[in-house]
Structure 1
Amino acid sequence: MSRIAVIAGQGALAPAIIAALGDPLVYALEGFAPDGVAAAPFRLERLVPFLDSLIDQGVERVVFAGAIRRPRLEPEAFDARTAQLVPRIMMAMQSGDDAALRAVLDVFEENGLKICSVNEIAPELIPEDGILTGAPSEADQRDADRAAAILAALGGLDIGQGAVVAQGLCMAIETLPGTAAMLDFVACHADLRPNPKGARGVFYKAPKPGQDRRIDLPTLGPDSVTQAAAAGLAGIAWEAGGVILLDRVESIRRAETAGMFLWARSPMGI
């Protein structure tokens, strides 16, 4: 009987995917298992034997769920077959994390394992075009347009998936420290808005252009709403069909409490 395996990364996405699937096999890179998830560990240095074990258990499909950081590799831990892949993966890593992940995914699929996207497994987690709550003003819409353009321009540099724009000015761009650090920065520099009584700003999230959407889709959730509210923003917008929203009911509740909008924005705007 065909089975599905979850490669669980850190954050709240893996538990949501595991719950949607019911009873999948769950694994995590050694040292990177998410809190509260019982995941069998595996090492990248023994990737090929790990794939063999999945196939032996009848696994045909694999879904990656959550943030996966690049592990520190131990050369002496490689088995002979996985060691043959090292030059290929190292070459991909020179082009950035996205290329390295694609190289690993290629190895999975070359071994007969289909990589499934979150959209295939739990489409209800990825909102389509529409405003979930609140009402972005014309100024907010312009700020969202500006943030979307900034992310599109930066996409090829493999920097991040989020930006904050207020009154047409870029307040912050998401980099390696992540969303929470970016929004903390915005909260500390609210006085940079030219007009204190003008538009408060928009946090915008989107996949990078050309990103492999089977993995590493941007994720928002209740904590994102709380952090954006603390930064004094008017709302959160994201690319419709390209961003995961965890716990939609609680995210909407927090946004309504804070007087914020949540907007799954068409790539073409409203």
Structure 2
Amino acid sequence: MTGRSHRRTAASNAVAAGAQRLAIIAGSGSLPLYVAIAARSAGEDPLIIRLKDEADLDWSQFESASISVGDVKGLGLLLSHHGIDRVVLSGGVARRPEWREIRPNLKMIAKMPSIIRTLLSGGDDTVLQMVIGLIEAQGVRVIGAHEIAPRLLATTGPLGKIKPTDDDRKDIVKAARAALALGVLDVGQGAVSVSGRIVALEGVEGTDGMLERVADLRTAGRISQRRKGVLVKLCKPQQDIRADLPTIGPSTVENASKAGLAGIAVEAGRAFILDREAMLKAADEAGLFVCGIDTALEGDMM
């Protein structure tokens, strides 16, 4: 019997015995894999539900299934068939489904008008809260990725060898205020401050796209070549922390360096650090600081 066949048989036996199981709905990026590995280390046998056109990793070492983003009916069947009682939402989703792509089940037919309105005009957090509600309507509980992989969370203070200067700290405070204001509008999670001036706010292009924009502005002379600046990423004030926590990794450091920044600050306890060792090595080599901040202590965030 192959490993995959064995897992399928074990899963079927577990369902028949009334056992409960974790499912990880996987979008793009490496976060879903980190969560899956942490779950397996804790004795779980997670089912990976790959989102079509989003999930981009090799999941051959885990039992997995694939569904489209709007296929609520298919999701409900998967959750029921595999005895799922907990679901983690993990990874990026680049595109919202069109309302015509939604495949409802009987539990959500009456909610379709509200779903369509949210997809058309709701911010990212509003959409995520709707998604969490639809999943929990299938009789399961949505939990946060941080509950499965708490070691990925940023801690307070410098994480690498480089520490922010006094000027950097002032930029951290300014960018944090801007990121929180942006979050209230349910637009994005990140902001860049250079010498106390907000030069970029994160939109639908994401953090890397925003940093590329900062690099272009610097090349064009719109931002001083001498003054560096700081990227800050925070949770939105109203955000449900079970989904879409701010995340940084090696690509964030690479793009922050290209943008000429001095460093990156994220919210301690509410932001993920991916590929931590490689990311901090790259930051140290580039002369960038990476730190976790406590937004409750404005003016002394570290």
TM-score w.r.t. structure 1 length?
0.91
Equivalent residues in 2 for 1:70-89 (5 A)?
Answer: 70-74=96-100, 78-89=104-115
The two structures, once aligned, show a CA RMSD in angstroms of 2.0
Residue 78 (structure 2) aligned to one of 40, 53, 68: 53
Q: Which residue of 2 aligns with 1:7?
A: 25
Equivalent residues in 2 for 1:72-221 (5 A)?
Answer: 72-74=98-100, 78-93=104-119, 94-133=121-160, 134-190=162-218, 191-194=221-224, 196-197=225-226, 199-221=227-249
Question: How far is the alpha carbon of 1:165 from its aligned partner?
Answer: 0.7
| Consecutive unaligned residues in structure 1, runs of 5 or more | none
Contact 1:206 1:218 in 2 (8 A): yes
Cα distance between partner residues in 2 of 1:152 and 1:76: 32
Q: Which residue of 2 aligns with 1:41?
A: 66
Amino acid at match of 2:136: E
Cα distance between partner residues in 2 of 1:146 and 1:106: 35
Amino acid at match of 1:61: R
For residues 219-266 of structure 1, what are the alpha-carbon distances to aligned partners after superposition, in whole Å with 9 as ceiling and x for unaligned? 100111111111111111111111111011111100110011111011
Identify the range of structure 1 (146-155 vs 49-58) with the bigger mean alpha-carbon deviation.
49-58
Cα distance between partner residues in 2 of 1:228 and 1:206: 16
Q: Which residue of 1 aligns with 2:10?
A: none
Contact 1:164 1:203 in 2 (8 A): yes
**Matched position secondary structure for 2:159:** strand
Identify the range of structure 1 (125-134 vs 250-259) with the bigger mean alpha-carbon deviation.
125-134
Amino acid at match of 1:127: A
> For the structure 1 residues 87 and 249, does the alpha-carbon distance in structure 2 shift closer, same or farther, using more than 3 Å as the test?
same
Q: Which residue of 2 aligns with 1:65?
A: 90
TM-score w.r.t. structure 2 length?
0.82
| Consecutive unaligned residues in structure 2, runs of 5 or more | 1-18
2:57 matched to 1:32? no
Question: How far is the alpha carbon of 1:31 from its aligned partner?
Answer: 2.6
Contact 1:161 1:206 in 2 (8 A): yes
Cα distance between partner residues in 2 of 1:89 and 1:169: 38
Cα distance between partner residues in 2 of 1:111 and 1:76: 16
Amino acid at match of 1:107: L
Large movers: runs of 4+ above 6 Å: none
Cα distance between partner residues in 2 of 1:247 and 1:84: 43
Cα distance between partner residues in 2 of 1:172 and 1:99: 23
Q: Which residue of 2 aligns with 1:19?
A: 37
For residues 5-55 of structure 1, what are the alpha-carbon distances to aligned partners after superposition, in whole Å with 9 as ceiling and x for unaligned? 000011121121122222410113333222334542224554145224313
Amino acid at match of 2:150: P
> For the structure 1 residues 64 and 200, does the alpha-carbon distance in structure 2 shift closer, same or farther, using more than 3 Å as the test?
same
Task: Count the aligned residue pairs.
Answer: 268
For residues 102-136 of structure 1, what are the alpha-carbon distances to aligned partners after superposition, in whole Å with 9 as ceiling and x for unaligned? 12211222332111112100000011212112110
Cα distance between partner residues in 1 of 2:69 and 2:111: 11
